[in-house]
Amino acid sequence: MTNVKLITHNSRVNRPLVAHVEAGLRSFDRTMPEEINRIVTDALSDYLFTSEKSGNQNLLREGIPREKLFFVGNTMIDTLLKHRDKAQHSKILEKLGLINLELKTENSNLIPYGVLTLHRPSNVDNEETFRKILEALKEVAKHLPIIFPAHPRTVNRIKEFHFEKCFYLAAQNSTLKIKNYHINCVEPLGYLDFLCLMSSAKLVITDSGGIQEETTILRIPCVTLRENTERPVTATQGTNVIVGTNPRKIVDECVSALNGNRSHKRIPAFWDGKAGDRIVSILAERMSQSK
């Protein structure tokens, strides 16, 4: 929210105006609480800054006036590009035992691994759905170790459903050896550590929204465990594929990605690290006009 002047038909008044960054994203699944939040926020906003062109199309269909819409790009990508080099100084790969000095593959000492994030209520709150996902992930783990920084709500469900045996519970306060053929469960990571971990992964499996975008920029294959996405450009242009929760489809898509059968596509428009600059320029111009 930003305070700017508003000129009404009758008088000049001051009131706070609402600006929504990442406006117009739609999964078209109103069982998701965040979908309702997005719709309400967009309806209340005076400036709607969109991160992909589908956002503009969605808002126009909902009757939002075109003059309120501004396609500026993705501010989260601004953050990633700004911090990517710094993230490479993280020691997380060493802490997790993913550096093997005796290993020489493609001029790298890095043990090939995948990354998993899983927290969405539709995936982890239903015992049967969660069980099927884990069955698929255990099959994927036969191809490479999976590193799983576990969300607290997911940890609670693992304990509630007695799924502990599906994971290797790894401490990371000292160097350890990640176990092959396992889902290696570690504590949640900070942004820079996770960015470093994700940047060197062979594959990312997730039910997150933002990670679909980050893997597109990093050119890392992403398999999304959802039936829909509010970020369709990651699938039409990026490295993301939506697989739902069918175990066979999860395994097939992961193996296909590991075998290099998915092409890296192109970076979406305006995902160039300058979205924030565009937003500031637009707000500055509008405030100047309203004086």
Can 119 be counted among the known catalytic residues? Answer: yes
Q: How far apart are CA 25 and CA 58, in angstroms?
A: 8
277: Cβ contacts below 8 Å, ≥ 6 apart:
none
CB 87 within 8 A of CB 195: yes
Please, what's the b/e burial string for 97-114 (b: 16 or more CB within 10 A of its CB; e: otherwise)? bbeeeeeeeeeeeebbbb
Q: How far apart are CA 60 and CA 74, in angstroms?
A: 19
Query: From the candidates 9, 20, 83, 119, which is the catalytic residue?
Result: 119
- Helix-helix angle 75-87:210-218, to 10 degrees: 60
CB 228 within 8 A of CB 234: no
Residues assigned a catalytic role = 119
